[in-house]
Amino acid sequence: MEQISIIDSKDHVDERVKIGVWLTDKRSSGKISFLQLRDGTAFFQGVVVKNTVGEEIFDLAKKLKQETSMWVTGTIHQDDRSHFGYEIEIDGIEVIGESGDYPITPKEHGIDFLLDHRHLWLRSSRPHAIMEIRNEVIRATYEFFNQEGFIKIDAPILTDSAPEGTTELFKTKYFDREAYLSQSGQLYEEAGAMAFGKVFSFGPTFRAEKSKTRRHLTEFWQIEPEMAFMHQEESLQVQERYVAFLVQNVIDHCAYELKILGRDVGTLKKYTKLPFARITYDKAIEMLQASGKFPDLKWGVDFGSPEETFLADQFEQPVFVMNYPKSVKPFYMKPHPTRDDLVVCADLLAPEGYGEIIGGSERSTDYDYLVSQLEKTGQDIKNYEWYLDLRKFGSVPHSGFGLGLERALTWITGEDHVRETIPFPRMLHRLNP
Ligand code: 4AD
Ligand code: MG
């Protein structure tokens, strides 16, 4: 008898197999028990019929507690009524590990309770589906950048630079000096691009965000590509190809998970059509003002969630908002060639109110400009000498961007809160588990 995983049931219809499982829920009548089972790869139902298995196994099945682990043997059948499509008719059960009173029951729990039990909650079908999609997005990310000729250059986590400004830094002791947890790998990717042409990093980044919004984590994962000999317009094309590729791969490989989450595939399909819309910041301000919904809005402000949602709602697909005021963006962005007050950048806003999923720009190649920008923000030039070196030795036009993995996942999965999309979220009041 072959030992299989639930996910491979389709290849074993009408065969007798052995599977290691946990019990997630059960229901019994006098003669038949339905065991809801999971093995990490998927969820399906086991059916135990008293007349077939005999009294002993039937009684054992009835007494099993939630999250008991066991070997089950039985025959796989097609089951068109379930999301998964297959079930097992059980003929044998061997308990591996007994379970106590499992805190997460099939009834409703509050969000704080669930987050306190995140280490167990991960076993449930919704978080499970989201993590499978997270894994697919990561897999597709590597596929995309490898096929586009990028190489992965890992950026350090412990740094002494603050690319995104000094207000949201996590500081830590570093022997006899201070270090920061990386806000972004970008500056290192710029060095990488000058060495390898097209590079990307994928790693955790940190922001000491005191804001308790649906979009903010203090620790989140960023994919940060950086391309030498590339202007912003070409970078936007890489970005839209990448995002459409992610969505397409989730549609192609995560149909079961999307079904569990109730995410409409037809809606997602719209986001694979290229090109995405493009508007300037100036135009965005015009649209917001014309709507009458933002009476106090003035040119020069950064957008918050209500503005981003309004703008995104005007388009069927994600939309690039280009060329923001210099004053609301980081020091490294290239100044606009004809407008002194703007930088050559874009944020990609996701539809359906999910906000900014990518921030990117062309980078300034002007040594003196960068020094003056750093000085303006009160940063210690000494810590950036290596970065400024990149402008001294064969500087070239280059552009890059950062996609927030959890932001993108929140949108793709249709979840309400970014915390659902990372295994162990870190937020203002949450460091455990
Ligand atoms: O727009 P941001 O701050 O850009 C950078 O860090 C650039 N250095 C990226 C680059 O050009 N290489 O962050 C990039 C993305 C945002 O668009 C958003 O998706 C996500 O990271 N992000 C967050 N996600 C979750 N929680 C937070 N607190 C986030 N802050 C940014
Ligand atoms: Mg941003």
Residue located nearest, by CA, to atom 6 of ligand 1 = 184
Say if residues 122 and 131 touch (Cβ distance below 8 Å): yes
Per-residue pLDDT tens for 10-49? 999 999 999 999 999 999 989 999 999 999 999 999 999 9
Q: How far is the CA of 316 from the centre of ligand 1 (A)?
A: 23
Per-residue pLDDT tens for 288-341? 999 999 999 999 999 999 999 999 999 999 999 999 999 999 999 999 999 999
What pLDDT score was predicted for residue 82?
87
Q: Which DSSP string do the residues of 250-298 spell out, in sequence order?
A: HHHH-HHHHHHHT--HHHHHHTTSSSPEEEEHHHHHHHHHHHTS-TT--
Give all strands of the β-sheet with 151-152 in edge-to-edge order: 151-152, 198-206, 219-228, 398-404, 355-362, 345-350, 319-322, 277-280
What pLDDT score was predicted for residue 400?
99
Quick one: pLDDT band at residue 107, thresholds 50, 70, 90?
Answer: confident
Fold of 2-97: OB fold (Dihydrolipoamide Acetyltransferase, E2P) (2.40.50)
Residue located nearest, by CA, to atom 24 of ligand 1 = 404
Q: What is the largest CA-CA distance in the chain?
A: 84
- Tally of CA atoms within 13 A in the half-sphere of 330 that contains its CB: 24
ipTM: 0.99
* Residue of 213, 356, 401, 410 best suited for mutating to test ligand 1, as the one with most atoms within 8 Å of CB: 356
Residue type, 285: I
Closest atom, ligand 1, to C-alpha of 401: 11
Say if residues 345 and 329 touch (Cβ distance below 8 Å): yes
Q: How far is the CA of 291 from the centre of ligand 2 (A)?
A: 24
Mean pLDDT in residue range 88-98:
98
pTM of the model: 0.97
Closest atom, ligand 1, to C-alpha of 359: 1
| Run of H or E residues at 20 | strand 16-28
Q: How far is the CA of 369 from the centre of ligand 1 (A)?
A: 23
Residue located nearest, by CA, to atom 11 of ligand 1 = 401
CA-based torsion, 92, 42, 216, 352: positive or negative: negative
* Residue of 181, 201, 207, 222 best suited for mutating to test ligand 1, as the one with most atoms within 8 Å of CB: 222
Q: How far is the CA of 266 from the centre of ligand 2 (A)?
A: 28
Residue type, 329: K
Q: How far is the CA of 402 from the centre of ligand 2 (A)?
A: 8
C-alpha to C-alpha distance for 33 and 46, rounded to whole angstroms: 8
Burial label, 110 (beta-carbon count in 10 A; 0-12, 13-18, 19+):
exposed
Ligand nearest the Cα of residue 215 is: 1
Quick one: pLDDT band at residue 373, thresholds 50, 70, 90?
Answer: very high
* Residue of 407, 419, 426 best suited for mutating to test ligand 1, as the one with most atoms within 8 Å of CB: 407
Name which of 374, 372, 369, 363 is nearest 400 in CA terms. Answer: 363
Name which of 73, 31, 37, 35 is nearest 54 in CA terms. Answer: 31
Ligand nearest the Cα of residue 211 is: 1
Mean pLDDT in residue range 356-370:
98
pLDDT for 83 beyond 90: no
Closest atom, ligand 1, to C-alpha of 357: 19
pLDDT for 7 beyond 90: yes
Residues of the chain with CATH 2.40.50.140: 2-97
What pLDDT score was predicted for residue 47?
98
Quick one: pLDDT band at residue 285, thresholds 50, 70, 90?
Answer: very high
What pLDDT score was predicted for residue 84?
93
Q: Is 31 helix (H, G, I), strand (E, B) or coil?
A: coil
Q: Which residues line ligand 1 (CB under 6 A)?
A: 163-164, 184, 186, 207, 209, 216-217, 220, 222, 224, 356-360, 400-402, 404, 406-407, 418
Mean pLDDT in residue range 227-235:
98
Ligand nearest the Cα of residue 165 is: 1
**Structure tokens, 188:** 């290192």
Tell me if the domain spanning 118-421 has CATH number 3.30.930.10: yes
Q: What is the mean pLDDT of the chain?
A: 97
Q: How far is the CA of 354 from the centre of ligand 2 (A)?
A: 13
Residues of the chain with CATH 3.30.930.10: 118-421
pLDDT for 211 beyond 90: no
pLDDT for 209 beyond 90: no
Q: How far is the CA of 83 from the centre of ligand 1 (A)?
A: 35
C-alpha to C-alpha distance for 26 and 336, rounded to whole angstroms: 63
With pLDDT > 90 as the criterion, what percentage of the chain qualifies?
A: 96
Mean pLDDT in residue range 171-184:
97
